[in-house]
Chain A
Amino acid sequence: MFTFYVVYYISVNQDELNHLRAEMLGGNNSGLSKIFESCAEYCIRGLMKKTNITKEDAEDILIESVMNFREKLIDKRLSYITNIKAYIFKTCYNMYLARIETEKRWRRKMSDIERFYYDTDMSDKGDFDHERMNATKHAWSQLSEKCRDIISYFYIDKLSMTEIAELLNLGNADVAKTSKSRCYKKFVIEAKSYLNIQK
């Protein structure tokens, strides 16, 4: 159903968005390829015309715009889209402006990981620190797959405990909450101890 609407550039309603969201939460992002198929050429050409950026940069921004669409969809911040092409193009252009603004603010060109880090919290005054990033990576690698899923669902996708319990077959919301607390505690302890060892 979603495929039909996206390909023909018509509106996408709540049911189709819900279907796509459920697929993504199940780890299947392939529905997004339809968005690339229908919007890529229009957005890349439009962005290059409006901003004079290179094709590579325009493609990069398009990919991040689709990421933004995915994030909003999972976070239930999208209910109805009248014109998906116009929506993605508008996001692309806003992303382009945000990227310029971030680099102006920090007065340097940034790698993706740095930019994503600053994007998550613009008021964060701490500079990007590779040691802390490694500590996070290390702590993440110490967790079981189930723990990683719980933390991602809870803190990144911001799902409710009931939804997490359903997705991971955890019985009920209370079981999910207990698991989340245990996993998150382990994650933070691992990151902190990695940083202490490095010091």
Chain B
Amino acid sequence: MALTIEEIELIYTALRDQLTESQQKDFNSKINDSEEFKIEYETQRNIMNYLKAQQKIELKNELKKLYSSSKKTKSTTSFTSYLMAYKYGIAATIALIVCVSLFIFNSGKDNFDSLYLEYYEPYAGVPLLRGSDQDSLQIALSKYYNHNFEEALLIFKEIETPNRDLLIGNCYLNLSKLTEAKKAFENAIESKKGNTNAAKWYLALTYMKEENVQQSLLLLSELQNSEYGELAKKLLEDIK
């Protein structure tokens, strides 16, 4: 039996990853009940995946060219800037003084930013098991390890697992939602479920990201005798 117009529309929406909650339920039941629907969806999804991959290759080639030309532009610009600086020596000196002042003013912020970038890695203490794709936790972890933090977060919120708050906090941190991230890590520490030292480590990094150095130092000192001890000591030295 041919698919109905509604079923075809459902496939279109699923291919755009835009199913609403009720559509998702309808879609899941059709996938389970109708072999024809399932085959049609999987065929179309497969074709679209190849198309997306090919389009990415084309875009990547275009950006490679842009990148190469930007390198050339940059070297030409530097040479031009040198000539201009020579010609307008006094102006350049004044500009330099202003820039140095600005740099000093902003250096603290930049340092914490670079330290955060240098030390932060998403928590990877919950293993992703191959062949368990139907389990909600595994689906969420697959998205999380694939850096699809928005979707992973939605699933983590719905499930119960010892490191739930820690993973949620990491998702928020990657989405730059620092207040929510702090709350999640604090919950993880208070509940004492899962890896509380990891929660303290990520909370310390969150504080550093928002330039709350005192709180960050406090947590790092607490971690000195834990599995995060080495990292904490190194980071403390870098902060000093």
Kindly identify which residue among B47, B62, B67, B122 contacts A59, using a CB–CB cutoff of 8 Å: B67
Contact B43 A29 (CB under 8 A): no
A171 nearest CB across to chain B (Å) = 21
Shortest B87–chain A CB gap in Å is 21
- Tally chain B residues at the interface, Cβ within 8 Å: 49
* Interface hit among A12-20, A117-125, A162-170: A117-125
Q: Is the CB of A123 within 8 A of B55?
A: no
Which B residues touch A136, using CB under 8 A?
A: 47, 50-51, 54
A33 x B18 contact (CB < 8 A):
no
Task: State whether A117 touches B50 (Cβ < 8 A).
Answer: yes
B74: chain A residues at CB < 8 Å are 37
Asked if A94 is at the interface of the complex by the 8 Å CB criterion, the answer is yes
CB contact under 8 A between A29 and B66, given known A126-B46, A156-B52 = yes
- A133 CB–B CB distance under 8 Å: yes
A63 is an interface residue with CB less than 8 A from chain B: yes
Main SS at interface, chain A: helix
CB pair B60 A140 closer than 8 Å? no
A152 at the interface (CB under 8 A from B): yes
In angstroms, how far is the closest chain B Cβ from the Cβ of A69? Answer: 10
Majority SS at the chain B contact face:
helix
List chain A residues, Cβ under 8 A from B59.
29, 67, 70
Of the residues B73, B133, B176, contact of A33 by C-beta under 8 Å: B73
Please measure, in the bound complex, the distance between the C-alpha atom of A194 and the C-alpha atom of B104, giving whole angstroms: 64
A122 touches B51 (CB 8 A): no
Which one of B138-146, B159-167, B198-206, B211-219 is at the A interface? B138-146
Contact A133 to B54, CB < 8 A, known contacts A67-B60, A86-B113, A155-B16: yes
Distance (Å) between the CB of A119 and the closest chain B CB? 7
CB distance A152 to B55 under 8 Å? Answer: yes
In the assembled complex, A137 has its CB within 8 A of some CB on chain B: yes
A29 contacts which chain B residues (CB < 8 A)? Answer: 59, 62-63, 66
B190 in contact (CB, < 8 A):
no
Q: Do A117 and B63 have beta carbons less than 8 Å apart?
A: no
Given contacts A123-B142, A188-B47, contact A116 B56 (CB under 8 A): yes
Q: How far is the CA of A152 from the CA of B48 in the complex (A)?
A: 10
Are A116 and B52 closer than 8 Å at their CB atoms?
Answer: yes
Given A123-B139, A132-B50, check contact A36 B147 (CB 8 Å): no
Q: Supply 17 A–B pairs (Cβ within 8 Å), ascending by A.
A: A34-B70, A36-B67, A40-B67, A62-B67, A63-B67, A67-B63, A86-B113, A97-B121, A98-B145, A98-B146, A119-B53, A120-B53, A124-B45, A124-B46, A132-B50, A136-B51, A188-B44
| Further 10 A-B residue pairs, CB within 8 A, beyond A46-B117, A94-B122, A101-B145 | A33-B73, A36-B67, A63-B64, A70-B59, A90-B174, A98-B145, A116-B52, A122-B142, A133-B54, A139-B47
Chain B positions within 8 Å of A, measured between CB atoms, are 12, 15-18, 43-57, 59-60, 62-64, 66-67, 69-71, 73-74, 113-114, 117-118, 121-122, 130, 133, 139, 142-143, 145-147, 150, 174, 176
> Which chain A residues have a beta carbon within 8 Å of chain B's beta carbons?
29-30, 32-34, 36-37, 40, 46, 50, 59, 62-64, 66-67, 70, 77, 82-83, 86, 89-90, 93-95, 97-98, 101-102, 105, 112-114, 116-117, 119-126, 132-133, 135-137, 139-140, 151-152, 154-156, 158, 184, 187-188, 191-192
